[in-house]
Amino acid sequence: MNLILFIFIVLLGFTSYYFGRKKAYTIQSTKKRLTALPQFYGYYLAIWCAIPAFIIFSLWAIFEPTIVKLLILSDYSNQGYLDDELNLIYEKTKALSRGQFTGEITPFIDASAEKYLSLRSIAQSSKVVIVLSAIIASVAYAYKRISSNSRTREPVEKFLNAVLFTASLAAILTTVGIVFSLIFQTIDFFKVIPLFDFVFGTHWYPAKAFVRDSSEALDPTMYSDTFGAVPIFAGTFFIAFIAMCVAIPIGLMSGIYLAEYASAKVRQYAKPLIEILAGIPTVVYGFFAALTVGPFLKELGTSMGLEVSAESALAAGGVMGIMIIPFISSLSDDVITSVPQSLRDGSYAMGATKSETIKRVIFPAALPGIVGSILLGVSRAIGETMIVVMASGLAANLTLNPLESTSTITAQIVVILIGDQAFGDPKTQAAFALGMSLFLVTLCLNIVALRVVKKYREKYE
Amino acid sequence: MIKIKAKDVDVFYGKKQALFNISLDIEENQVTALIGPSGCGKSTFLRCLNRMNDVIDICSVKGEILINDFNINDKSCDVVRLREKIGMVFQKPNPFPKTLYENVSYGPTIHGMAQSKQEMDEIVETSLKKAALWEEVKDRLHEPGTGLSGGQQQRLCIARAISVRPEVILMDEPCSALDPIATAQIEELIDELKKEHTIIIVTHSMAQAARVSQNTGFFHLGQLIEHGSTDKIFKNPDNKKTQDYITGRFG
């Protein structure tokens, strides 16, 4: 019903656009000069259609449930029910009206459900009537008002401005919301687990928290030595480091090749091919690492007399590096290509060879962008989840041996949140604490990246 | 004395021919101006002289260009050595995004011309002095070259070009992005530089050609219409087209 109404309103919007434009053409045909193009008259009317519809819909969404609830529960007033009981009755009523009620049906609730349904249908039809009449009234009012010298362009521009502003506001508010939910859960977590234990503890064993029976009282001492995040932070940075060791040299060199050496034809085919790497889902990289690279490294290691775990940091980091190559290669290619040709000419004219020109002129000029692309790669490496979960194991070992398995922040969040979770449990909140620390790390990285880029900008521009 | 001798030079961009049969002699230690309307091929010709056209994939050059009686289009020609001998200054100042010092020491570094830091300091100082920039920048040699004004940047580019003591300096409309005062400074500089270098300058300004050059070549539609002493070209040209262009009747 709502969908049909919505489509109808959209059609009304188009119609008002059409009428607005038509009126403008009519005015124009009397040789009067318009203050704006005819389209603006159309948009103006369409806005007069959209705004009342939007306002009424929003008000309805806010007030309808409250009013319906009040009306239903008014039957039960003065009968000595507590607030909680009233809420329960209301929920039962709603469930019954949807046919999802499984308990015992009392005549009272049955009557309420009937009333609920009839109220809803009254509300629905009055909404249709009110919305449509409001739209028609406002469009008609605006239609009568527009004339050759009415201002239509400014309101249309303002409306667009407002729409765009709302869109960006939505993005910002979502971010703020996520950060706040992280913060509150994190604070709750640190009420149970001391911050010091989390930041400096070297033993991460959240499985211990699984054992607790939820009916038992929360005893903080049982969590000592459970949530020490050092091993997983170390693992995160270690795997990211391995990944960057693979991605930076290969990515940069292929970027330089594409930008400076490759002929137009090679570039035309090679660049999209490299970018395909970026389109492979990480889960595919994950099983590539777990099923191909990991066992291969294990065999290779065994043949050389080394002990290699099948799930090793090296396998995960190496494959992650391959995943990041296209980011660095493609971005640095763009940055290098955007270095002005005049600089290359200047260097060649001095008798510099291609490699000298790249090393001494182009690379320094492109450095801010290249550093930016590398830092982007680092934040991807730190935030990457799937490959680590599949290829590096879930045990948080504190080790710097790339041949052993280790774990990362993201992988631990997965471990914690898979399966049943209880809200308010330190185990679940640990995921928020980890998410918060991950967020802080990437935030710092981004700030550093911006600083670095800005510093070089000042130096080179 | 003849420094550069071009014989029947043809240049193609892909299939399109940009220069037809250019033969031109350039005198040593004089300023030769190349004039002509836009797109007539004068910059293309200039870029032949230090093989900068190599950089453009689709460009091919035919014919002989003899510099000190050596054909630079020959396979045995080492482009790095050639460009060491033939410096170039571009239309838009293009200092590298490095410090002033690094800009000037760029050429000497890649050609291994200085054995010590002291020697390099000397080269940088002399080059900047010759480019009449030393007094203005001696206290900020380690600031970025891109921070200078347009005219200073162009003089920095000249200093960069002369740092390797080239025999010839090619200038491709060096003043077109500069104001009249900076232009006057560069022109004065050109006059000074011709004592030690052979200079070829492409310019759109007839007045500039008349002021700075001893010889002039007039290009039109890829052909060298006329060349000779600047005096003669400006006062008594043989060709009608030259006359029309110089008096401003077309172009």
Is residue A280 in a domain?
A: yes
**Tens-digit pLDDT profile for residues B109-157:** 999 988 999 999 999 999 999 888 999 999 999 988 888 988 899 999 9
Are A243 and A385 in the same domain?
A: yes
Nearest residue in chain B measured CA to CA from A359: B110
**Tens-digit pLDDT profile for residues A330-388:** 889 988 988 889 999 999 999 999 999 999 999 988 888 888 889 888 988 998 888 88
Is residue A24 in a domain?
A: yes
Average pLDDT over residues A423-435: 80
- Cβ pair A263:B96 closer than 8 A: no
Report how far apart, in Å, the C-alpha atoms of B93 and of each of A172, A316, A345 are.
43, 49, 11
SS3 A218: coil
Give me the pLDDT at residue B69, please. Answer: 87
Structure tokens at A105: 């049906």
Instruction: State the Cα–Cα distance between residues B80 and B166, nearest whole angstrom.
Output: 12
Instruction: State the Cα–Cα distance between residues B251 and B233, nearest whole angstrom.
Output: 16
Are A227 and A142 in the same domain?
A: no
When CB atoms are compared, the residue of A349, A459, A461 closest to B52 is A349
3-state secondary structure A81-144: CCHHHHHHHHHHHHHHHCCCCCCCCCHHHHHHHHHHHHHHHHHHHHHHHHHHHHHHHHHHHHHH
Are A119 and A258 in the same domain?
A: no
CA distance B96 to chain A (A): 6
Full residue range of the structural domain in which residue A228 is found: 223-460
Last residue of a domain, one of A117, A149, A181: A149
**Tens-digit pLDDT profile for residues A150-159:** 888 888 999 9
- A19-23, A273-277, A417-421 — which one is most confidently predicted on average? A19-23
Residues of B in contact with A343 (CB under 8 A): 94, 96-97
- A71-80, A160-169, A176-185, A329-338 — which one is most confidently predicted on average? A160-169
Nearest residue in chain B measured CA to CA from A365: B97
When CB atoms are compared, the residue of B81, B97, B106 closest to A350 is B106
- Cβ pair B87:A345 closer than 8 A: no
Candidates B106, B162, B168, B176, partner chain A, best to mutate (most A CBs within 10 A) = B106
When CB atoms are compared, the residue of B57, B83, B92 closest to A350 is B83
A451: pLDDT confidence band, cut at 50, 70 and 90? confident
As a whole number, the mean pLDDT across chain B is 91
- Cβ pair A360:B110 closer than 8 A: yes
When CB atoms are compared, the residue of B94, B97, B110 closest to A351 is B110
Cβ burial of A333 (10 Å; 0-12, 13-18, 19+) is buried
Residues of B in contact with A365 (CB under 8 A): 96-97
Structure tokens at A177: 């919301």
Closest CA to A95 of A79, A112, A83, A81: A112
B44: pLDDT confidence band, cut at 50, 70 and 90? very high
Give me the pLDDT at residue B178, please. Answer: 85
Evaluate if residue A127 carries a pLDDT over 60. yes
When CB atoms are compared, the residue of B92, B98, B164 closest to A350 is B164
Give me the pLDDT at residue B251, please. Answer: 54
- Cβ pair B55:A344 closer than 8 A: yes
Give me the pLDDT at residue B6, please. Answer: 92
Last residue of a domain, one of A90, A123, A149: A149
- Cβ pair B87:A365 closer than 8 A: no
CA distance B69 to chain A (A): 20
Report how far apart, in Å, the C-alpha atoms of A217 and of each of A7, A207, A214, A223, B107 are.
54, 18, 8, 13, 77
Average pLDDT over residues A129-142: 91
DSSP line for A422-450: -TT-HHHHHHHHHHHHHHHHHHHHHHHHH
Q: What percent of chain A has pLDDT over 90?
A: 28
Candidates B72, B80, B89, B94, partner chain A, best to mutate (most A CBs within 10 A) = B94
Give me the pLDDT at residue A209, please. Answer: 61
Q: In this structure, which topology does domain B2-246 adopt according to CATH?
A: Rossmann fold (3.40.50)
Backbone angles phi, psi at B170, to 5 degrees: -100, 130
Average pLDDT over residues A239-257: 94
When CB atoms are compared, the residue of A263, A345, A350 closest to B110 is A350
Instruction: State the Cα–Cα distance between residues A154 and A141, nearest whole angstrom.
Output: 18
Query: Which residues have a Cβ under 8 Å from the Cβ of A100 and sit 6 or more positions away?
Result: none
Residues of B in contact with A361 (CB under 8 A): 96-98, 106
Residues of A in contact with B96 (CB under 8 A): 343, 346-347, 360-361, 364-365
Closest CA to A149 of A18, A27, A48: A27
Is residue A252 in a domain?
A: yes
Are A344 and A433 in the same domain?
A: yes
Q: Which residues of B155-181 are buried (b: 16+ CB within 10 A; e: fewer)?
A: bbbbbbbbbbbbbbbbbbbbbebbeee
Is residue A101 in a domain?
A: yes
When CB atoms are compared, the residue of A348, A349, A351 closest to B111 is A351
Average pLDDT over residues A27-47: 87
- Cβ pair B90:A345 closer than 8 A: yes
Dihedral angle over CA of A246, A247, A248, A249, nearest 10: 60
Nearest residue in chain A measured CA to CA from B142: A459
Dihedral angle over CA of B63, B69, B73, B78, nearest 10: 180
Backbone angles phi, psi at A80, to 5 degrees: 80, 25
Q: What is the count of residue pairs from A and B with beta carbons less than 8 Å apart? A: 77
Name the β-bridge partners of B34: B202, B217
Place of tokens 């809803």: A120
3-state secondary structure A37-59: CHHHHHHHHHHHHHHHHHHHHHH
CA distance A458 to chain B (A): 9
Determine contact, residues A332/B145, Cβ cutoff 8 Å: no
Closest CA to A111 of A121, A103, A119: A119
Are A249 and A393 in the same domain?
A: yes
pTM of model > 0.80 = no
Q: Which residues of A131-153 are buried (b: 16+ CB within 10 A; e: fewer)?
A: bbebbeebbeebbeebeeebebb
**Tens-digit pLDDT profile for residues B58-111:** 899 999 999 988 999 888 899 999 999 999 999 999 999 889 999 999 999 999
- Residue B116 DSSP code: S
Evaluate if residue A258 carries a pLDDT over 60. yes
When CB atoms are compared, the residue of B50, B83, B92 closest to A342 is B92
Give me the pLDDT at residue A223, please. Answer: 67
Candidates A338, A350, A457, partner chain B, best to mutate (most B CBs within 10 A) = A350
Give me the pLDDT at residue B147, please. Answer: 86
- Cβ pair A360:B161 closer than 8 A: no
- Cβ pair A345:B160 closer than 8 A: no
Give me the pLDDT at residue A459, please. Answer: 55
Q: Which residues of A347-378 are buried (b: 16+ CB within 10 A; e: fewer)?
A: bbbbbbeeebbbebbbbbbbbbbbbbbbbbbb
Last residue of a domain, one of A96, A125, A149: A149
- Cβ pair B52:A346 closer than 8 A: no
- Cβ pair A365:B80 closer than 8 A: no
B20: pLDDT confidence band, cut at 50, 70 and 90? very high
ipTM, 2 dp: 0.91
Evaluate if residue A39 carries a pLDDT over 70. yes
Is residue A49 in a domain?
A: yes
Is residue A184 in a domain?
A: no
Give me the pLDDT at residue A147, please. Answer: 82
Instruction: State the Cα–Cα distance between residues A203 and A231, nearest whole angstrom.
Output: 7
When CB atoms are compared, the residue of B79, B81, B94 closest to A346 is B94
Residues of A in contact with B97 (CB under 8 A): 343, 361, 364-365, 459-461
Closest CA to A235 of A423, A352, A404, A380: A404
Determine contact, residues B56/B16, Cβ cutoff 8 Å: no
Number of domains in chain A: 2
CA distance A364 to chain B (A): 7
Give me the pLDDT at residue A215, please. Answer: 52
Q: What is the CATH number of the domain that holds A350?
A: 1.10.3720.10
- Cβ pair A361:B96 closer than 8 A: yes
Give me the pLDDT at residue B32, please. Answer: 95
In this structure, the number of other CB atoms found within 10 A of the CB of residue A105 comes to: 12
CA distance A241 to chain B (A): 31
Is residue A437 in a domain?
A: yes
**Comparison of pLDDT for A200 and B208, the residue scoring more:** B208
Is residue A192 in a domain?
A: no
